[in-house]
Amino acid sequence: MRSDQVATEWRNRFLAVVEDLGPAPILLSGGTDSGTILAAQLALGWRPDLWSFRFEFVPSRDWIVSDLMATHYGLTFHTVEIANSEIRSDVERLIELTGESKKSHVQCGHPIMRIAEILGGFFWTRTAYVGTGGVIEDNRRGSEILHYDGEEAFREYRRENLLKWEEQRTATWRMIDVAATFGVELLQPFATQPFADYSLSLDSDEINSPKQKGIALRAFPEFWSNGWYRRNEFLQKGSGLSAAHDAVLLGDPDLDPDGRWKSVTGIYNEIRRRQERNHVAP
């Protein structure tokens, strides 16, 4: 099967998944995964609201691309502004809510908490699309597995990332859990069956040709020809999450009076320990 036929089949199957899930807002990062969800909704004739976030009115790479997409199609674009003065209280609240201080869970859960709290207050929508799982990124670990262990091992690695997020309690699981706390269901079209199995049946060349996640570009050329494509980047980096947390929490004289912590993970753990001590205090 030629790559254009693969892309056509992939597009049709993805559109079927999105059509079945129905119209809903999109948590848009401007990356390939969430952008492809937007491309599919537009292809179905829908005009979804888009949601993003930024810190202290500083436009991150993610936010800039998301804003360009929204402006190009004249879509409503909601931005949750997170002030630096709110970061500590947000993190404390999230750790209290989840009992979790793992770095990826705290940072990925932070904007989900803020957005879901707003969406959960709307009586007309309690669902939103999220690009978790995605087109299965061609990341460093995946590339190593493909190079040393071959195509089947690479496919199994992709399967673990795409479908076993709940069993392994990944950052995806935490994001969905946090949203559910506010009554919001995050829709994951890439992980929806039988589409997920079809994607996993494709080999690395079909997925990543002519470039990383290329199947999405080939499937929706009318969308990606606008020049928005970027190589995969972790949410924490592209959105400014890691940088903002580091800037505000590292060196906080209350959380780290002795300057012991060289990583923000130490701060998250300190917050969790304090909360646990307060819970058992007489």
Q: Is the pLDDT of residue 138 over 70?
A: no
* pLDDT reported for residue 149: 84
Indicate the pLDDT class of residue 141, thresholds 50, 70 and 90: confident
Task: Kindly state the tokens that stand for 178.
Answer: 């946090």
Alpha-carbon distances of 72 from 47, 67, 68, 77, 186, rounded to whole Å: 12, 8, 6, 11, 25
Tokens of 228: 């928005």
Tell me what pLDDT residue 205 has. Answer: 85
pLDDT score, position 137: 56
More confident residue, 124 or 250: 250
Q: What is the pLDDT, as a whole number, of residue 1?
A: 46
Q: Report d(CA 110, CA 106) in Å as an integer.
A: 6
More confident residue, 147 or 241: 241
Is pLDDT larger for residue 281 or for residue 205?
A: 205
Percent of the chain with pLDDT over 70: 94
Instruction: Provide the CATH number for the domain formed by 3-280 in this structure.
Output: 3.40.50.620
Taking CA atoms, 139 is separated from 69, 75, 92, 195, in Å, by 25, 31, 31, 21
Question: pLDDT for 70-115, tens place per residue?
Answer: 999 999 999 999 999 999 999 999 999 999 999 999 999 999 999 9
- pLDDT tens digits, one per residue of 21-41: 999 999 999 999 999 999 999
- 172 band by pLDDT with thresholds 50, 70 and 90: confident
Domain ranges of the chain: 3-280
Spatial CA neighbour of 69 closest among 87, 47, 44, 89: 47
